[in-house]
Amino acid sequence: MISVQDIIDMTDLTPDEIEAVAEHEHLCRVNAAALAQYVLEHHNGAAKVQDMICDDIRAALHKGDLPHARDLFATLRHFMAEHPEAAHGIRQ
């Protein structure tokens, strides 16, 4: 049987990055993994995933949930290190 972790492992994203997409899109992790990988494979997809994580950070800050915002910021930093094409202004 395929586990959630198996599905996440088939993507180019970490579990934390999948969790951020799941939070942003209000999806379960399996659906978020599929959506995130689909988006990532398209033009400017990495920038779209970056925007999702940034939206999550803003939402956490708006709620006053600083620990969650910090975790999401760490997730964003890792994502940007692995997907530098996500930086706005870079043309693919």
Higher pLDDT, 69 or 2: 69
Q: How many CB atoms lie within 10 A of CB 10?
A: 12
What is d(CA 71, CA 38) in angstroms, rounded to the nearest whole number? 24
Condensed to tens digits (0 to 9), the pLDDT of residues 16-63 reads 999 999 999 999 999 999 999 999 999 889 999 999 999 999 999 999
So what's the pLDDT on residue 90? 53
The mean pLDDT value for 61-78 works out to 98
So what's the pLDDT on residue 89? 54
Q: Does the pLDDT value for residue 4 go beyond 90?
A: no
Asked whether 92 and 85 are in contact (CB, 8 A), the reply is yes
